[in-house]
Amino acid sequence: MSTRRFALAALAALTLAGCQKASPDKPAFKGIDLTGAEYARQLNLTDQDGRARSLADFKGKVLVVFFGFTQCPDVCPTTMAEVAEVKRSLGADGDKVQGIFVTVDPERDTATLLKAYLGSFDPSFVGLRGSVEQTQATAKEFKVFFAKVPGKTPESYTMDHTAASFVFDTEGRVRVYSRYGAGAEPLAHDIKLLLAEAKKTP
């Protein structure tokens, strides 16, 4: 399957996921509701401090997982800035939100670079990286598209990638697909719903 067809197929799957019939018992998310999705169930990579990480490590927090790369000129820094803004806007509840950045460019995004990059947005953000093969497997698990775009030199390539965030509830289940460009307010709205839901759970 070509990268274009892969991207279209992934988008179609996510769009269909958002067309599920609403229920009075389901939160009214502003993003696409992924509750019950049978993907994005595993995330096993190494963080910027060299520690192996999985979704279980973050149980008890709402996760915002974004796939990108540090040399991205617009989508990635905008998204991470919005996640940081949402954390600040939640006050004390912001401590219950964890931003996670998964690099799709592990060849250039070293652990040191990831740590410096994410620290400029929020020191609590976690950067995850793996081998090229691990990155591909993780992207497949999340139905995320990415592809290298050649530059003028071998080192100046850029990356095309899915521009959206995956929001997980405090039990480590993917719940929301938040499109790039929606802004911080819809993301904050959906995170508040998940935090409220967690408080109701015995």
For the chain, which residues make up each domain, given as ranges? 3-18+34-200
Average pLDDT rounded to a whole number, residues 112-138: 97
CATH class of the domain comprising 3-18+34-200: alpha beta
Please state, in angstroms and rounded to a whole number, the distance separating the CA atoms of residues 195 and 34: 16
Task: Please determine, for residue 201, whether its predicted confidence score (pLDDT) is greater than 90.
Answer: no
Q: Mention every residue, 6+ apart, whose C-beta is less than 8 A from residue 154.
A: none
Residue 83 CB neighbour total at 10 angstroms: 27
pLDDT class for 77, splitting at 50, 70, 90? very high
Extract the tokens encoding 180.
């790039």
DSSP secondary structure, 108-122, as one string:
T--HHHHHHHHHTT-
Please state, in angstroms and rounded to a whole number, the distance separating the CA atoms of residues 16 and 9: 11
Looking at every residue in the chain, the average pLDDT score rounds to 90
- H or E stretch at 198: helix 184-200
The dihedrals phi and psi of 76, each to the nearest 5 degrees, come to -65, -50
pLDDT digits (tens, 9 = 90+) for 31-71: 999 999 999 999 999 999 999 999 999 999 999 999 999 99
Three-state SS at 201:
coil
pTM of the complete model: 0.87
pLDDT digits (tens, 9 = 90+) for 78-107: 999 999 999 999 999 999 999 999 999 999
